[in-house]
Amino acid sequence: MTDQAGKAHATIAEGALRSALPYRARPKRPNALSASLTFGWRALLKIKHVPEQLFDAVGNPIIFTLMFTYLLGGAIAGSPGAYLQYLIPGILVQTVILITAYTGVNLNTDISKGVADRFRSLPIWRPAVIVGALLGDMVRYALASAIVLALGLILGFRPESVVGVVLSVVLIIVFAFSVSWIWTALGLVARTPNSVLWVSTLIMFPLTFASNIFVEPKTMPGWLQTAVIFNPITHLVSAVRGLMYGTIPVGHIAWLLVGCVVLVVIFAPITMYLYRSKK
Amino acid sequence: MKGDSGMNGGRDGALAVEAEGLVYRFGDNVAVDGVDLEISRGEIFGFLGPNGAGKTTTIRMLATLLRPDSGAARVFGHDVVREADTVRGLVSLTGQFASVDEDLTGKENLILIARLLGYSRKEAKVRADELLEAFGLSDAAGRQAKTYSGGMRRRLDIAASIVITPELLFLDEPTTGLDPRNRNQVWDIVRSMASGGTTVLLTTQYLDEADQLADRIAVIDNGKVIAEGTPGELKGSVGSGVLHVRLRDPGSRPEAVRVLSRAIGVAVETPSDPVALLARVSEPERVPEALAGLPHAGIAVSDFSLGQPSLDEVFLALTGHPTEEKADKKEEEAV
């Protein structure tokens, strides 16, 4: 590799350098959408170059699915096969929710590496870098969902409505997109990428357990049931279960969409404020 | 040619950079403490100072990344706060740490920037290839930037800054950490930029670098500009060179001081090393004769050298204190 680098040094061409330098024609600046899509493309390239990130993200749910289904499934639902039908929609939600933090992690990495400075000194619509990253992450959420669903199908998960499955994934992605804004705001104040991951895990891990992902809340003590009912993840899981088994849980979906709007309305402006005033 | 090539609004007759009383604070720490600057179009302007002196913070204010706490700055006549967006269209910033996306390949990095500047997919690819070729990175175009050597990364970084040749290019310590060959390449690039009409503002810790490249230099310390001028003027203010002499016998030092100071007409200092002498020379042509006077007086010399003053010596002369990294100002470098 040193050799290769050495060769590259030698080939810096004076003539090519001079002819490449004076390039002053400035095309029309891209609009907000096109700038965002360009950043989305960047996020996709990152998935392509660093696919490990995705495997990390789905490693946990695979372990959870296998462990809960075969160790505890019989005890919880009578048989592992019956429990799987209950668990997969929940695991799907947990998987995607836990990887929402990566948007914030990546943003924080950009800042600590100095790339953010370059983006911020470009004459573009400033939120594009974050909106674009979130668009790219939606693809990541879709991929993670596909992996979990494939795993479920192999193990014997049999949803009743294909349309319901697709709608579920859309609903999960919309919710994950909204939650991501919390982590982008956190990503702008945290000192290191790792601390973003820690804080988000610290918040989201208990939230996914204090929900109906793994067991019906009715077996829990009363105070916990109350907490579970107010947990937005419970509503998401209920909505997803309903959709996958052929019903349309309007109440849960409405509750969720309102929650999404609230999250974005609060955290998107905070993120943008922090981004603009970042030192 | 530049500025008035039609596409963007450098105001006629305006200086490239004009700053008055720029102040920036990190909490209680005043990183930039009333900096005034005037940089003409087409000039290579050097910002010379130790770590934590306020160089980076000043550049970040001029590049619209930080809002000054007080004072004002204009780039080609446009206010960096009120007309930040216009300024961003005229400048390019290459940060202290190579600001490229390490996960992406060299080519993808350049396409990304070109697309963000409004090029079509095809134009962006063409421009990326052209730049990779010009910067000797064609062979590494398809490799992730994280596999690049320091010099390659720095070149990619500069390439990303000139996808569209900026009117004003900020280079924050462009050669720190590079080996001499890579450093020379970066110098060539900077000179090419300037000969094409781009104004360059670069920061450096090395007097040598500022001397090689800059038309004018501002020396900055503790957030203040403490001296400004051409490299010649600056060195002249310290003496145009420093003469170091080492004697065989410490006992002959007092006599050597007398002989030398008479012959070169400046004060001769006696550092802590008992056989060493040091003089800031204003007329280097008098040195050979002066040195020849030592053996005539029966004083044996073991070695001598005449060199440019180092940054440390310039600093010592200008501020009365040696350069030192200010630990409490590290924050500036860290952000």
Assess whether B189 and B246 both reside in one domain: no
Please answer yes or no on whether A12 and B26 come within 8 Å at the CB atom: no
Please answer yes or no on whether B103 and A50 come within 8 Å at the CB atom: yes
- Residue B326 inside a domain? The answer is no
Contact yes or no for B37/B18 (Cβ under 8 A): yes
Number of H helices, E strands in chain A: 14, 0
Please answer yes or no on whether B192 and A18 come within 8 Å at the CB atom: yes
Rounded to 10°, the helix A32-49/B106-116 angle is: 170
Identify the residue among B66, B78, B117, B147 best suited for mutation to test binding to A, counting A beta carbons within 10 A and taking the highest: B117
Q: Is the pLDDT of residue B321 over 80?
A: no
The tally of CA atoms less than 13 A away on the side-chain side of residue B132 is 22
Assess whether B79 and B131 both reside in one domain: yes
Assess whether B186 and B255 both reside in one domain: no
- Residue B261 inside a domain? The answer is yes
Assess whether B264 and B187 both reside in one domain: no
Assess whether B127 and B92 both reside in one domain: yes
Q: Is the pLDDT of residue A61 over 90?
A: no
Assess whether B120 and B248 both reside in one domain: no
* CATH at residue B281: 3.30.70.100
- Cα gap A225→B129, rounded to integer Å: 61
Assess whether B285 and B179 both reside in one domain: no
Tens-digit pLDDT profile for residues B36-92: 999 999 999 999 888 888 999 999 999 998 999 999 999 999 999 999 989 998 999
Q: A154 CB near a chain B CB, below 8 Å? A: no
- Cα gap B47→A269, rounded to integer Å: 37
**Cα distance from B307 to chain A (closest Cα, Å)?**
30
Domain boundary among B229, B259, B279: B229
Lowest mean pLDDT among A142-151, A173-182, B301-310: B301-310
Q: What pLDDT is recorded for position B335?
A: 38
Q: What pLDDT is recorded for position B150?
A: 86
User: What phi and psi values does residue B56 have, to the nearest 5 degrees?
Assistant: -60, -45
Tens-digit pLDDT profile for residues A65-77: 899 899 888 888 8
Please answer yes or no on whether B164 and A24 come within 8 Å at the CB atom: yes
* CATH at residue B119: 3.40.50.300
- Residue B315 inside a domain? The answer is no
What is the arithmetic mean of pLDDT over A142-169?
A: 92
Chain A residues with CB inside 8 Å of B147's CB? 1
Please answer yes or no on whether B185 and A115 come within 8 Å at the CB atom: no
Tell which wins on pLDDT, A201 or B282: A201
- Residue B162 inside a domain? The answer is yes
Tell which wins on pLDDT, A106 or B235: A106
- Residue B277 inside a domain? The answer is yes
Q: What pLDDT is recorded for position B143?
A: 96
Domains in chain A: boundaries: 30-276
**Cα distance from B70 to chain A (closest Cα, Å)?**
16
Domain boundary among B229, B250, B274: B229
Q: What pLDDT is recorded for position B6?
A: 39
Q: Is the pLDDT of residue A176 over 90?
A: yes
Contact yes or no for B232/B212 (Cβ under 8 A): no
Highest mean pLDDT among B13-17, B137-141, B263-267 belongs to B137-141
Please answer yes or no on whether B5 and A16 come within 8 Å at the CB atom: no
What is the arithmetic mean of pLDDT over A249-271?
A: 94
Please answer yes or no on whether A22 and B64 come within 8 Å at the CB atom: no
pLDDT band, residue B240 (cuts 50/70/90): low
Contact yes or no for B152/A12 (Cβ under 8 A): no
pLDDT band, residue A13 (cuts 50/70/90): low
Assess whether B190 and B247 both reside in one domain: no
CA separation (Å) from B266 to B79, B238, B299, B301, B334?
A: 47, 12, 19, 19, 43
Tell which wins on pLDDT, B210 or B312: B210
Closest residue on chain A to B26 (Cα): A279
For chain A, give the percent of residues with pLDDT over 70.
91
- Cα gap A149→A92, rounded to integer Å: 7
Q: What pLDDT is recorded for position B267?
A: 85
Please answer yes or no on whether A115 and B101 come within 8 Å at the CB atom: yes
Q: What pLDDT is recorded for position B101?
A: 93
Tens-digit pLDDT profile for residues A19-52: 666 666 778 888 999 999 999 999 999 989 988 8
- Residue B224 inside a domain? The answer is yes
Please answer yes or no on whether B116 and A16 come within 8 Å at the CB atom: no
Assess whether B187 and B285 both reside in one domain: no
Say which residues have a Cβ less than 8 Å from residue B157's Cβ, sequence separation at least 6.
B94, B95, B98, B99, B100
- Cα gap B202→B187, rounded to integer Å: 11
For chain A, give the percent of residues with pLDDT over 90.
52
Q: What pLDDT is recorded for position B330?
A: 39
> Per the structure, how many domains does chain B have?
2
Q: Are strands B168-172 and B91-94 parallel, antiparallel or unpaired?
A: parallel
Q: What is the mean pLDDT of chain B?
A: 85
Q: A41 CB near a chain B CB, below 8 Å? A: yes
- Residue B321 inside a domain? The answer is no
Assess whether B281 and B198 both reside in one domain: no
Q: List the single residue in A4, A23, A122 with the smallest CB-CB distance to B116.
A: A122
Assess whether B179 and B249 both reside in one domain: no
- Residue B332 inside a domain? The answer is no
Q: What pLDDT is recorded for position A17?
A: 67
Highest mean pLDDT among A6-10, A263-267, B177-181, B212-216 belongs to A263-267
Q: Using alpha carbons only, what angle is made at residue B179 by residues B221 and B195, rounded to the nearest 5 degrees?
A: 70
Q: Which domain holds residue B81?
A: 17-229
Rounded to 10°, the helix A222-230/A232-244 angle is: 70
**Cα distance from B18 to chain A (closest Cα, Å)?**
19
CA separation (Å) from A27 to A147, A213, B6, B153?
A: 41, 51, 12, 26
pLDDT band, residue B11 (cuts 50/70/90): low
Interface of A with B in 123-142 (CB under 8 A): 123-124
CA separation (Å) from A154 to A60, A66, A135, A147, A158?
A: 17, 12, 29, 11, 10
Q: A219 CB near a chain B CB, below 8 Å? A: no
